Structure 1
Amino acid sequence: MCRMTKELPATGDQRRSQLLRGVLDLCLLSLIAERPRYGYEFVEALDHSGLELVSEGSIYPLLARMERAGVVESYRAPSSSGGAPRKYYRLTTAGRDELTRGRAVWAGFTTQVGRVLNDQRKDQTGESDDDR
């Protein structure tokens, strides 16, 4: 006998976290494309952009996977504060190509999802965004 379990709807933060998990690698590639960065700079930049749900603990394993995949490479440079050298990440040629492809996929995906969500809202209210 198959038993279905009822899951509670995701809260706003849970949904945002789930969505972000799917595109965090793309966000990191985009930030690295601006300039090489070290770990905590990613957290600061994402937080500044309103994506405060990301911790260093989720960024470092992803950066390591991205490095193994050949889309980023790392190097050590002296810390501006005089501490231990920091590990910076920069894009490889493969990383730039992946960012270009990822941006195109994201643009198409958000357009399609937006269409579904907006069509559903129009069906429920009887009016489109243009009517408001």
Structure 2
Amino acid sequence: MAIQIPTELLDGCVLGLLTRGDYYGYTLTQEVRQQIPISESTLYPVLRRLKKNGWLTTYDEPFQGRNRRYYQLTASGRTRLTEIQTDWVAFQPAITTLLGGHTHE
């Protein structure tokens, strides 16, 4: 896929995954990569920004002598996800129409 994912949509993808539970960075990247091609170097700055904005928190858990940093959705992160989902519902059919596709309205 050569299309670059807009920042807001990538934020929404990460926040949406975190509604399923807490993830550590590597598994979060793998989950996103199952759907869209991104690199770990793409995702970690997104995670830092989402944390800085208060949309997620982190905690560390020991694993095989190392710590894994887990990411957890906050209440304001859930609110932000709802905003992104609302924007997407309006945005997606417009892009589909402009690309010559059909919408299911």
With normalisation by structure 2, the TM-score equals: 0.86
Shift in Å, 1:112: 1.4
Could you tell me which of 25, 28, 40 is aligned with 1:42? Answer: 28
Contiguous gaps of at least 5 residues in structure 1: 1-12, 122-127
The structure that has the greater radius of gyration is 1
Which structure's residues are more often helix, by fraction? Answer: 1
- Secondary structure of the residue aligned to 1:111 is helix
**Equivalences for 1:1-132 in 2 at 5 Å?**
13-15=1-3, 18=4, 20-22=5-7, 23-49=9-35, 51=36, 53-79=37-63, 82-118=64-100
**How far apart, in 1, do the equivalents of 2:16 and 2:83 lie?**
12
User: Identity of aligned pairs, percent?
Assistant: 30
Alpha-carbon offset, residue 115 of structure 1 = 2.3
Cα-Cα RMSD: 1.8
**Structure 2: how far apart are the matches of 1:94 and 1:57?**
25
| Other structure's SS at 2:59 match | strand
Q: How many residues align?
A: 102
Kindly report structure 1 stretches of 4+ aligned residues shifted beyond 4 Å: none
Structure 2, unaligned stretches of length 5 or more?
A: none
Offset, 1:14:
2.5
* Superposition TM-score, scaled by structure 1 size: 0.70
